[in-house]
Chain A
Amino acid sequence: MSLTLDDVGVRYGGVDALRGVSLTLEPGRVLGLIGPNGAGKTTLVNAATGLAPLASGTIALDGERVDGLPSHRIARAGIARTYQNIRLFGALDVRGNLAAGAYARPGRLGTVELLRLLERAGIAGADLDAAASSLPYGDQRRLEIGRALAASPRVIMLDEPAAGMNPSETGRLVATIRAIAADGIAVLLIEHDMTLVRAACDDVVVLNFGEVIARGTPAQVGRDPVVVEAYLGSGAEALS
């Protein structure tokens, strides 16, 4: 089940936040989306999840147009996401957050399913009855991934999941992301940590000023002089 963005444009006031962006997320593969701050990465996720209206182009989930649908219907169609600034339901417990993720699915999650979700999100030891806001920061990010997985999504978009994590937590996140893709889910990973991008992504798209300036494998992108100039600088070494 693939998600295809074709010639997507988003305008905020008179500014082009995205212009002519085309990319495809394929099942079982992780696509990295990198670029400087303000390049339009989160806007792309917002566009794909119905939060930012398109000025041009189309978005289709396995051939079915989803652009123009309200965001709750896009979520129900199988596109789940996490947020750059964590948006857990802080007053709810861990169980409640996972149940929230499964809102659009019929029935309720049993304890076995809940524990399996925690395991897939990399927080197997978390207490289901703990308040989400009481979890350590890294675990909150992982719980957000668990909430997204609870929807049984076909596409998952992770917006800087490693932000605020230490190197060892980031290292373990690679295994989590690869395992999600191995389950046949199409993954989009927005990330600034180039070590994580190289380890987790099959392909990378680079955005700058709302436009795609390069695409390819992490190694190819790391060698691209345009990308090095616009974004990576010394970080290019991490990709090659």
Chain B
Amino acid sequence: MPGALVDFYAKHSRLIDQIGVNALLALSLSVSLQAGQLALAQAAFMGIAAYVSAILAMQAHWPLIATILAAVLVSTVVAALLALPVRRLRGVFLAIATIGFGEIVRVFANNLSITGGAEGLSGIPNDATTPVIYGSLAVVAFVLFALSRTKFALAVTLVREDEHAARGVGVDVGMVRTLSLALGGAIAGLGGALYAHASFFLTPTDFGFARMEQILVWCVIGGVTSPLGAVIGAALLSILPEVIRFLSDWREVTNGVILLLVILFAPGGLSSLWRRGAIRVR
């Protein structure tokens, strides 16, 4: 690497890693939103996976890849199980139920001894390097791209557009909702495991409601039905605080203003600016 690039990386490596993890988290919510599900439990899936991978690494000394796989498996199963009781919920009711689930997870993490309670865990092996994070992001992007060429993607679009009519053409709406939530859980789990291994500490506040809100804002700004939009939203809002550091006291206000501008002038998110007209089905 040229010297300037090395310096740049050394200076910003933490931010670069954060962008990668945040992009994964945004993608995980995007998967649910694409199926029309305002399911806001991504932070909880992330947290569960983060604790699973951290505990396995610290107490059982599992290697990174094994802890990630175990964490993703657990978060996927939890998401699929959560899909069952919320099967009949839509819109704001689904949002409230899933936020409630997130709070339950946070309260458990706050009170269990294995998670270190409110103080959390410290001393997690710092082995989620930049190549690991971006390699994972590439794998997820490839899987999502491959899925976008299948009939499952068509089913997801149809469920989002009109569940009733989707059933009428033979789509198993319940299955599509469950699978999209489980897939979202898997990606959030991957993001959570990497988050744990890219930080030294892990506390319950790392995946509370504020985190969930942040993930939702990334997706709204990027475009709720566009995976690429979600990634761009996450990247933009991860970088922005660094770029406008002089406005750091006004960070929440700046975020709010950006959100408002996007909702007012590009309600479909930034991705809608380059994708006008009817949705094409491959």
Contact = CB atoms under 8 A, between A and B. Distances in A.
Interface string A179-215: 0000000000000000000000000000000000000
Interface string B251-282: 00000000000000000000000000111110
A92 B173 contact: no
Nearest to A150: B169
A129 interface: yes
B169 A147 contact: yes
A100 B154 contact: yes
Nearest to A102: B169
B36 to A, nearest CB: 11
A237 to B, nearest CB: 36
B278 A83 contact: no
A99 B154 contact: yes
A56 to B, nearest CB: 23
B278 A129 contact: yes
A133 B176 CA distance: 25
B172 A75 contact: no
B90 interface: no
Interface in B143-163: 151, 154-155, 157-158, 161-162
For A73, A101, A103, A147, which residue has the most chain B Cβ atoms within 10 angstroms? A103
Nearest to A134: B278
Interface string B161-181: 110111111111100000000
A151 B170 CA distance: 9
Contact of B168 (A81, A99, A129, A131): A81
A80 to B, nearest CB: 8
B64 to A, nearest CB: 41
Contacts of B155: 103
A76 B172 CA distance: 10
B175 to A, nearest CB: 9
Nearest to A103: B169
Given A83-B165, A100-B158, A93 B170 contact: no
Interface string A41-73: 000000001110000000000000000001111
A75 B170 contact: yes
B154 A87 contact: no
B281 A93 contact: yes
B154 A72 contact: no
The SS class assigned to the A binding surface is mixed
Contacts of B162: 87, 89
A103 B278 contact: no
For B151, B278, B279, which residue has the most chain A Cβ atoms within 10 angstroms? B278
Interface in A103-146: 103-104, 129-132, 134
Nearest to B172: A72
Contacts of A71: 167-168
| Interface magnitude class on chain B | 20 to 34
A215 B277 CA distance: 47
Contacts of A51: 164, 167
Contacts of B164: 51, 87
| Interface magnitude class on chain A | 20 to 34
Contact of B161 (A89, A130, A147): A89
A129 B165 CA distance: 20
A96 B170 contact: no
A226 interface: no
A165 interface: no
Contacts of B154: 99-100, 103
A96 B165 contact: no
A131 B165 CA distance: 17
B168 A49 contact: yes
Contacts of A83: 165, 168
A88 B278 CA distance: 13
A151 B169 contact: yes
B226 to A, nearest CB: 13
B168 A96 contact: no
A3 B261 CA distance: 55
A89 to B, nearest CB: 4
Given A96-B280, A130-B278, A131-B278, A91 B161 contact: yes
Interface of B: 151, 154-155, 157-158, 161-162, 164-173, 277-281
11 contacts: A50-B167, A71-B168, A72-B171, A83-B165, A89-B158, A91-B161, A91-B279, A93-B279, A96-B281, A100-B154, A103-B151
